[in-house]
Structure 1
Amino acid sequence: MNRSSDYERVFSHIDRDGNGMISPSELQRCVGLIWNEEILLEEVEIVVESSRGNNGELGFEDFVSLMESAQEDEKVEDLRKAFRMYEMDGTDCITADSLNRMLNRLGESRSVDECAGMINRFDLNGDGVLNFDEFRAMMV
């Protein structure tokens, strides 16, 4: 099954009244079932409005954009977790030393100089370390 038909199936399931639009209350019910927790209708209305909701509701294209945005947010959070694993010095950047330590933990024996060379390939601003944006660019 392709992504579009997956979205269509989910959209149809959420659109309980079958009017081709997802209302905030329909989205609220769905989110409550998925996460097993209450979410305020006002919070859902804000999400719908920020997603270009037509007349306070989500059409299919708006729904797809919302889902893809949520998936992108999840990917960025996963990258942040990975970044924090390599960034061990509390400097909010990956240094040659911190990269060396993490690679050694993973069984990859590299010298600090080799790690510096690896960093230099993706160090866009030339400061000798990787910040999160450079790390994200490297991982994409």
Structure 2
Amino acid sequence: MRVFNQFDTNRDGKISPVELKQCVASIGGEMTAEEAEAAVVLMDSDCDGLLNLEDFVKIVEGANEEEKGNDLKEAFKMYEMEGSGCITPKSLRRMLCRLGERRSVEDCKNIIGYFDLNEDGVLNFDEFKVMMSC
């Protein structure tokens, strides 16, 4: 709520497209007036041309989800086998060793087997997301 109040510069309990644009600029981003207007139209639940607190929370949560997804993609790249698009028992073992956790290839097969939904012996990105959520 404190963040919302900081962006609600005229203290009317709503964030206008102009305030949204200023908000994005204050955190180092760029947004045109047209983009701010489009974002408000898209997220405005009561169709008054302004964002209330609930609308703002949805935007922030969406941004957090996108950031989490990007973080997971970066983590997946660290574990996958040289651009193969999957995590093999060997690549999992290699990464765990780098993190200071010694595991055998057999242990890694068992870990992968637990999360390997399509039973192909490796983890794809979707399976990796499931594993990381546990």
TM (normalized to structure 1)? 0.86
1:58 corresponding residue in structure 2: 51
Question: Of 69, 73, 81, which aligns to 1:88?
Answer: 81
1:3 corresponding residue in structure 2: none
The AA in structure 2 aligned to 1:137 is V
2:111 corresponding residue in structure 1: 118
The AA in structure 1 aligned to 2:16 is S
The CA deviation string for residues 25-84 of structure 1, in whole angstroms up to 9 with x for no partner, is 10101110111x542111222222232353332111101111111111111111111111
Shift, 1:132, TM fit: 1.1
Structure 1 moving runs of 4+ over 6 Å: none
Note the residue ranges of structure 1 that are not aligned, 5 or more in a row.
1-7
2:90 corresponding residue in structure 1: 97
Question: Of 16, 33, 36, which aligns to 1:41?
Answer: 33
Note the residue ranges of structure 2 that are not aligned, 5 or more in a row.
none
The AA in structure 1 aligned to 2:19 is E
Question: Of 119, 127, 131, which aligns to 1:134?
Answer: 127
- Whether the aligned pair in 1 keeps the contact of 2:77 and 2:83 (CA below 8 Å) is no
Q: Secondary structure at the match of 1:79?
A: helix
